[in-house]
Amino acid sequence: MSESVHTVTGMTCGHCAGAVTEEISRIDGVSDVAVDLPTGRVTITSATPVALDDVRAAVAEAGYELVG
């Protein structure tokens, strides 16, 4: 298992967190997505490491921005 932590800007409510979770969950191999709304931290658990570009694209599809 692999775990990565990212920061997403612009999320302000549960709907925001749900949209980000839904899009990231669509990435192949992702088994869990945990969003900490107050900090914007998103923890992704997956079978193998997830490419940063895939995470960035999923977050953008949800309408938000990945920091860094």
Total domains, the chain: 1
pLDDT, one tens digit per residue, over 14-68 is 999 999 999 999 999 999 999 999 999 999 999 999 999 999 999 999 999 999 8
Domain that holds residue 30: 2-66
3-state secondary structure the chain: CEEEEEEEECCCCHHHHHHHHHHHHCCCCEEEEEEECCCCEEEEEECCCCCHHHHHHHHHHHCCEECC
State residue 58's pLDDT score: 98
Q: Please state whether the predicted TM-score (pTM) of the whole model is above 0.85.
A: yes
The domain that contains 22 carries what CATH number?
3.30.70.100
What per-residue confidence (pLDDT) applies to 14?
96
Interval 29-43: pLDDT, tens: 999 999 999 999 999
pLDDT of residue 68: 81
